[in-house]
Chains A and B, each alone.
Chain A
Amino acid sequence: MTEQHLYNYCLRMGDNALILSYRLSEWCSNAPMLEEDLALTNFALDLIGRAQAILKYASELQGGVKTEDDLAYRRGEREYYNHLITELPNGDFAQTMVRQLFISAFEFYFFTELQKSTNVTLSAIAAKTLKEVKYHLMHATDWVIRLGDGTAESHKRMQDAINYLWMFTGELFEMDLIDTVLIEKGVGVDLMLLQPKWHRHIQQVMYDATLLIPEEGFMQTGSRKGIHTEYLGHILSEMQYLQRTYPDAIW
């Protein structure tokens, strides 16, 4: 195993947390009610904390030449490895909650496995993260069931969100050489084993919510290679503005 594999593995995890955190923070002052506003921004804070821990570890792996802030704020679009689903616009509340359900369910199984990693830093981060993810999952599940099994309007919005987001879920389970190498060393998680668990979990929630999983079809891909939707560039231009305009600014 080269350090480079582990480094890239950390970037993927860190970027997923960083970009989703950014999206969730956009709900700040815009959520349907005050209580939910706080819930979503709490999630965003959980995620930025996770991103910081993982990117800091990534930075250490490279000898600290670049800090975690450099990694977060000074990479170009093609150097980000977050799943495409994390960068999609929030859409309506239904879309945000379906996205959260898909991602949190994935993260629940992922970090449960990562706890067993032979890499002590990753297993420690996984244990801490899992507690946060369990709450995210519970919260998202509640909303998906409430709104799916709610009014005709809320049901329709939920189903529309599922139909749109489904094609971005295949990417969660994609693996390449980096995964294979790290799985062999007992460091990484075998995503192929997670997929059926995730699918069963989602199926159960959909059943309770009277919603339908779309038929298997085309799945989006790209983030493993740093290829993104048109949305990431817009996120970065705003997120990185300060560091790009006033490099090394402190406050």
Chain B
Amino acid sequence: MSQSINKNEWPLWEVFIRSKAGLDHKHAGSLHAVDAKMAIENARDVYTRRMEGVSIWVVESINIIASDPEEAEALYEPAADKVYRHPTFYNLPDEVKYM
């Protein structure tokens, strides 16, 4: 993976916010910061101003490995005709709720 880095620019970080205890961290966006500590502080100021979260994860964007869009066909389309992988063909007993 090639990524050109402008030396005058601070590294980019991806921000993940947990909105409340028990829930997963969700990707909220990205920001610039010189190190992890500043990234956390900046994330707090940029992404939790309206009580969006109770916990923050940050990770430098260059450390994220993304799947290749060119391979999307091979990666995802084979799943399209396999609806039986969804558990929709079972008759659920009435006693089982919240499924």
Interface: A139 (CB within 8 A): yes
Provide the residues of chain B in CB contact with A135, threshold 8 Å. 44
Query: Is A35's CB under 8 angstroms from B49's CB?
Result: no
How many Å from the CB of B6 to the closest CB on chain A? 14
Query: Is B38's CB under 8 angstroms from A39's CB?
Result: no
Query: Is B38's CB under 8 angstroms from A38's CB?
Result: no
Interface: A142 (CB within 8 A): yes
Provide the residues of chain B in CB contact with A39, threshold 8 Å. 41-42, 45
Query: Is B33's CB under 8 angstroms from A142's CB?
Result: no
Query: Is B37's CB under 8 angstroms from A35's CB?
Result: no
Per-residue contact bits, chain A 1-38, to B (CB 8 Å; 1 contact, 0 not): 00000000000000000000000000000000111101
Per-residue contact bits, chain B 32-56, to A (CB 8 Å; 1 contact, 0 not): 1110011001101110010000000
A133-167 residues with Cβ-Cβ distance < 8 A to B are 135, 138-139, 142, 146
Interface: A243 (CB within 8 A): no
Per-residue contact bits, chain A 111-143, to B (CB 8 Å; 1 contact, 0 not): 000000000000000000000000100110010
Interface: B28 (CB within 8 A): no
Interface: B31 (CB within 8 A): yes
Query: Is B41's CB under 8 angstroms from A38's CB?
Result: no
Query: Is A33's CB under 8 angstroms from B32's CB?
Result: yes
How many Å from the CB of B3 to the closest CB on chain A? 20
Our pick among A35, A138, A139 for the contact of B33 (Cβ within 8 Å) is A35
What is the number of residues of chain A that contact chain B, defined by CB distance less than 8 Å? 12
- CB-nearest residue of chain B relative to A143? B38
Interface: A90 (CB within 8 A): no
Task: Please report the C-alpha to C-alpha distance between residue A36 and residue B44 in the assembled complex, in whole angstroms.
Answer: 11
Task: Please report the C-alpha to C-alpha distance between residue A35 and residue B42 in the assembled complex, in whole angstroms.
Answer: 6
How many Å from the CB of B45 to the closest CB on chain A? 4
Interface size class of B (residues with CB under 8 A): 10 to 19
Query: Is A142's CB under 8 angstroms from B37's CB?
Result: yes
Interface: A67 (CB within 8 A): no
Provide the residues of chain A in CB contact with B34, threshold 8 Å. 146
Query: Is B32's CB under 8 angstroms from A38's CB?
Result: no
Task: Please report the C-alpha to C-alpha distance between residue A34 and residue B42 in the assembled complex, in whole angstroms.
Answer: 9
Interface: A210 (CB within 8 A): no
Provide the residues of chain A in CB contact with B31, threshold 8 Å. 34-35
- Taking A33-B32, A35-B33 as contacts, is the C-beta distance between A42 and B45 under 8 angstroms? yes
Provide the residues of chain B in CB contact with A139, threshold 8 Å. 41
Task: Please report the C-alpha to C-alpha distance between residue A237 and residue B42 in the assembled complex, in whole angstroms.
Answer: 33
Per-residue contact bits, chain A 41-70, to B (CB 8 Å; 1 contact, 0 not): 010000000000000000000000000000
Provide the residues of chain A in CB contact with B42, threshold 8 Å. 35-36, 39
How many Å from the CB of A150 to the closest CB on chain B? 10
Query: Is A38's CB under 8 angstroms from B37's CB?
Result: no
- CB-nearest residue of chain A relative to B38? A142
21 intermolecular pairs with C-beta atoms under 8 Å apart:
A33-B10, A33-B32, A34-B32, A34-B46, A35-B32, A35-B33, A35-B42, A35-B45, A35-B46, A38-B45, A38-B46, A38-B49, A39-B42, A39-B45, A42-B45, A42-B49, A138-B41, A142-B37, A142-B38, A142-B41, A146-B34
**B residues lining the A interface (CB < 8 Å):** 10, 31-34, 37-38, 41-42, 44-46, 49
Q: Which 9 A-B pairs have the closest CB atoms?
A: A35-B42, A39-B45, A38-B45, A38-B46, A35-B31, A42-B45, A35-B46, A139-B41, A42-B49
